[in-house]
Structure 1
Amino acid sequence: MTDLSSRIGTGERHRILHVFRAPVGGLFRHVVDLTRLQAEAGHAVGLVCDASTGGERAERALADLGPHLALGVTRIPMRRNPHASDLGALRAVRERALAEQVDVLHGHGAKGGVFARLAPLGRAGRTVIRAYTPHGGSYNYRPGTPLHRLYMAAEQMMARTTDLFLFESEYVASRHAAFAGGAPRLQRIVHNGLAEAEFAPVETAADPFDLVYVGELREAKGLPVLLRALAKVRAQGREMRLLMVGSGPDTESLAAMAENLGLRHAIAFEPPQAIRPVLGRGRVMVVPSLAESLPYVVLEAAAAAQPLVATNVGGIPEIFGSLSGDLVPPGDCEALSVAIMRILDEEPAIREGRARALSEALRMRFSMNRMATDVLCGYAAAFRAKRVRAAQAPVTA
């Protein structure tokens, strides 16, 4: 058993329900890691998530996590966008929280945050803390757009029912302060964390692809920009190849775009899979995102000392630190193609030395144990604040 609880100076054991929508991607990885560590620290943990996303890979991951889930896993229909069915999901979260007598409702992502913070618990909810980790979510919408204004108004309203904000990056915390308005009741910056084994370098395969992309196949990930940059480089006589690993709603349109750009033989599309073996199949990892929070894919690649080309969005500069000057403006096809050629044309010793330096810089700042400890410290602070508020509340006849 880990000593996470002893580190925060409390012997309390909590009953924690993590609520989120899709059991895929970095958000799911964060919840899985947090669940394991909280269970090992003696807490009873359960999950509520969508029933229709993730496929067989999510089923396997949830089955593997089963021994750590004292409160089990509940899968219910959850839509990505606001929908009338959200009321049914809200009732399901309420029923699960009351049945398990949870004292922590921790929402992840926009939808999980809504359900965890708005589920009506009545008198039983007086001692429950409601925590929220955005993972980007609604904060990534472009400021000034109708959707951004709508979602920020909702965040401002829900802040009143939030006992603890656990922002995964300084970037998202600043977006909340700027657009949701008002100071949160209590907040912490808790960076995503990695296990020590993830800092072991990966071996490059024989005859590797020049570039590798791992993640969702969505236009918001900047993939049309990447395809145009690749076409631009190849038009200069560079026979460059790209491996794209992932799935998503824009898979077919991206494949059609690759065909139209004459890239059919330059790109290999493969389904989602573990990232470390994929990293070894490419010389350089490319992350062309238009918006991000604190992406695990960048953390994982950087920790493994994989050379990286990434965009200057969200919390990515927090990962790169003093090396953030190497980041590329988002949506800039020309800048992306130049950055790709520059890193591939570097002397291997220079390219690999910079990648190792970034890996070492991450080791202390993005520890998985530190992440879990900081979350538990946040819970403890929220419980203390709630008890103080209860003691100060006027007594009614």
Structure 2
Amino acid sequence: MTTTPMRIVHCVRSPIGGIFRHIRDLATSQAAAGHDVGLICDSSTGSAFDNQLLEELRPKLALGLARFPMQRQLTIKDMSATLSLYRHIRDLKADVLHGHGAKGGAYVRLIGSFLAMRGQKIARVYCPHGGSLHYDPNRLEGRVYHALERLMGRLTDGLVFVSDYEASAYESKIGLPRAKSRIVYNGLLPEEFAPVEVPDNAADFLYIGMLRDLKGPDLFIEALYNIRLKNGEAPKAHIVGEGPEEDRYRNMVTRLGLERAVTFHGALPAREAFKLAKTVVIPSRAEAMPYIILETVAAERPLIATRVGGIPEIFGRYAHRLVDPGHIGKLTTAMEAAIEDPAKMTKEAGELRGCLAETFSVDLMNDRITTLYQDIKGILPADGAVPVATDSASAASRAQAVYARSSNR
């Protein structure tokens, strides 16, 4: 299907991790389809690895790559940041503003609404990527962020949820979407479905992800310590990633006497990191639809993961293999089982990979999001085909069922 060219601007606070992977793939596909694409993100976030990925994306961005100071938490500085972003976005004459994460979503919806008041016909699209939906609605911080999300819902034309779980979390914590909404799974490239082989002398375990408690690296380290207490020797392990709590995890490794067993790395490409160890461990406490799970499954690597967010949707009928989040005892047991029976882990990795390519593809992700833009703006594709709309009620009902099943486990 050919598409009518649009001017699309993506905005995200932190250009790192899975959220940036999603934007990078989407922007690349949209540019290849003939759209003019731009990206706005924070100027202070990101390692050398992340900045290199940004620079590789820059030539594909006809509307440019712009970086401004953006704070993670709500602060008075958000007012000056919003003004700076407004001046930049105003001159781009965008057809679509697509915000990713809570901060990116807030900026584009506020600015898009002001531009609409000045007569510019612009679509305001928001993808939470977890974000404020991770907050507990029974705590003050959660109540504040969820109230702001409800207000922002009035300024939203389109919502993209990366999993059924995320859609149900939005409905449960924020309310029924006022805007057109679609559940669009993150996608992988065809070459990512080639298996990754590891050498015989590889370490036992690999943690790969952001170094923050939400992702569970502390649980990973504690499980290694538990195995050492039981067996007298800790398994060899690698920790790949960067984040705000890295020093604390390094100190934890030292305090538990695991320096000889655990090696820290900075950020690495996932398929390169997979070669470091026999089993990947993703002990997250919360997720939306994590790319690292998709990448691990596609590479046919043995995987231990937790039952959070959209991960059960990836595992499908094998979701019973998932570990309860935050349960150090069950995580330790799963890691011990992986050491004892590597052949079983390899077999299960092959089974899990089965139908992934059909559901989680970049082309499908791009098509469903781009046709949502067209639906919002009321424009037909260049070949005259009518975009297929999502049955929001059906999606919400299905999402609520997934949320209820997950919550009851």
Does the TM-score normalized on the shorter chain lie above 0.5? yes
Aligned match of 1:193 = 187
Amino acid corresponding to residue 313 of structure 1 in structure 2? V
Give 5+ residue unaligned stretches, structure 1. Answer: 386-397
Q: 1:308 aligns with which of 293, 303, 321?
A: 303
Q: Deviations over 1:228-261 (max 9, x none)?
A: 1111111111541110011111111111111121
Match 2:139 to one of 120, 145, 148: 145
Q: State how far apart, in whole Å, the 2-side matches of 1:99 and 1:283 are.
A: 51
Q: Report the Cα distance in structure 1 between the residues aligned to 2:171 and 2:116, rounded to whole angstroms.
A: 29
**Residue aligned with 1:213, SS:** strand
AA in 2 matched with 1:24: I
Structure 1 partner of 2:8: 16
Q: Which amino acid aligns with 2:271?
A: R
Larger mean CA deviation between 267-276 and 218-227 belongs to: 218-227
Query: In the alignment, residue 337 of structure 2 is paired with which amino acid?
Result: R
Q: Which amino acid aligns with 2:208?
A: V
Cα distance in 2 for residues equivalent to 1:201 and 1:98: 45
Q: Secondary structure at the match of 1:19?
A: strand
- Residue 82 of structure 2 corresponds to 90
Could you say which residue in structure 2 is the equivalent of 1:343? 338
Question: Equivalents in 2 of 1:149, 1:336: separation in Å?
Answer: 31
Out of 146, 149, 159, the residue aligned to residue 155 of structure 1 is 149
CA distance in 1, matches of 2:75, 2:256: 37
Matches within 5 A, 1:282-321: 282-321=277-316
SS of 2:71 mapped into structure 1: coil
In 2, Cα distance between the equivalents of 1:182 and 1:249? 34
**Out of 238, 257, 260, which is 2:255 matched to?**
260
1:236 pairs with one of 230, 239, 255: 230
- Which position in structure 2 is the counterpart of 1:251? 246
Match of 1:202 in 2: 196
| Corresponding position of 1:135 | 129
5 Å-filtered alignment, 1:165-176, equals 165-176=159-170
Which of 61, 73, 78 matches 2:70?
A: 78
Instruction: Choose from 98, 105, 111 the match for 2:97.
Output: 105
Cα distance in structure 2, aligned partners of 1:229 and 1:157: 42
Is residue 193–residue 298 contact of structure 2 (8 Å, CA) maintained in 1? yes
User: Residue deviations 1:170-223, cap 9 Å, x none?
Assistant: 111101101112333210001110001001000112411100011111112112
Mapped to 1, the partners of 2:275 and 2:262 lie a distance apart of: 17
Give the superposition deviation at 1:82. Answer: 0.7
User: Alignment partner for residue 121 of structure 1, among 115, 120, 129?
Assistant: 115
How many equivalent residue pairs?
Answer: 376
SS of the aligned residue for 1:46 comes to strand
For the residue of structure 2 that corresponds to 1:187, the secondary structure is strand
Distance 1:125 1:104, change over 3 A: farther
Cα distance, 1:347–1:243 mapped onto 2, change above 3 Å: closer
Cα displacement (A) at 1:339: 0.8
Shift of 1:347: 4.9
| Match of residue 362, structure 1, among 356, 360, 363 | 356
- SS of 2:76's equivalent in the other structure is coil
Specify the alignment match of 1:54 in structure 2. Answer: 46
Q: Deviations over 1:250-287 (max 9, x none)?
A: 11111111112121111000111111011011110000
CA distance in 1, matches of 2:350, 2:376: 38
- For the 8 Å contact 1:229–1:333, the answer to whether it is kept is yes
Distance in 2, matches of 1:74 and 1:239, equals: 46
Comparing both chains, which one has the higher relative contact order based on Cα–Cα distances under 8 Å and sequence gaps of 6 or more? 2
Asked whether the equivalents of residues 98 and 124 of structure 1 are also in contact (C-alpha less than 8 Å), the reply is: no
Q: Which amino acid aligns with 1:264?
A: E
- 1: CA distance between counterparts of 2:9 and 2:119? 13
Contact 1:109 1:136 in 2 (8 A): yes
CA distance in 1 between counterparts of 2:272 and 2:226 reads: 28
Q: In 2, distance between residues paired with 1:205 and 1:347?
A: 14
Counterpart residue number, 1:32: 24
The reply on whether 1:378 has 2:372 as its aligned counterpart is: yes
- For the 8 Å contact 2:225–2:234, the answer to whether it is kept is no
Distance 1:342 1:60 in 2: 38
Cα displacement (A) at 1:125: 5.2
Q: Which amino acid aligns with 1:29?
A: R
1:225 aligns with 2:219: yes
TM-score (norm. length: structure 1):
0.92
Tell me the residue number matched to 2:399: none
Once structures 1 and 2 are overlaid, which stretch shifts more, 72-81 or 117-126? 117-126
Q: Distance in 1 between matches of 2:302 and 2:311?
A: 15
Structure 2 unaligned regions, length at least 5? 380-409
3-state secondary structure, aligned to 2:354: helix
Does the 8 A contact of 1:19 with 1:48 survive in 2?
A: yes
Pairwise CA distance, 1:132: 0.5
What do residues 133-154 of structure 1 show as CA deviations (whole Å, max 9, x unaligned)? Answer: 1110010112311111111111
Matched-pair contact (CA < 8 Å) for 1:108–1:134: yes
TM-score between the two structures when normalised by the length of structure 2: 0.89
Q: Tell me by how many angstroms 1:341 deviates.
A: 1.2
Letter paired with 1:139: L
- Please tell me whether the aligned partners of residues 207 and 220 of structure 2 are also in contact (alpha carbons under 8 angstroms): no
